[in-house]
Amino acid sequence: MTKSELVQRLAEANPHLYQRDLETIVNAIFDEIAAALARGDRVELRGFGAFSVKRRDARVGRNPRTGSSVMVSEKHVPFFKTGKQLRERLNQGGTAD
């Protein structure tokens, strides 16, 4: 689902709200999550999951075209861990491990 599809579904579920207002709300939520992650904060949405930032150490990688070694610098990457309710909802029809 894309952001525009999310806004469209919200508009269909809430016909009393303007689509442009819903788009502003969705953008504000995403912007606030991104800003919190940029500050190094963790964002938890109960029942859905938690967003956090993980640090990846510098390492020696390989150039796929030439096969030569290249240094890959340290970087920070976003990480999402699903919440218990979302995990259970996704696995309702599945078998137990």
pLDDT tens profile 78-91: 999 999 999 999 99
Residues 42 and 62: their CA atoms lie apart, in Å, by 32
Q: Which CATH number describes the domain made up of 42-92?
A: 4.10.520.10
For residue 75, what is the enclosing H or E element?
A: strand 75-82
Torsion over CA: 51, 52, 57, 58 (sign)? positive
**Domain residue spans of the chain:** 1-41, 42-92
Residues 25 and 27: their CA atoms lie apart, in Å, by 5
pLDDT tens profile 52-66: 999 999 999 999 999
pTM value surpassing 0.95: no
Taking residues 18-22, report their average pLDDT: 95
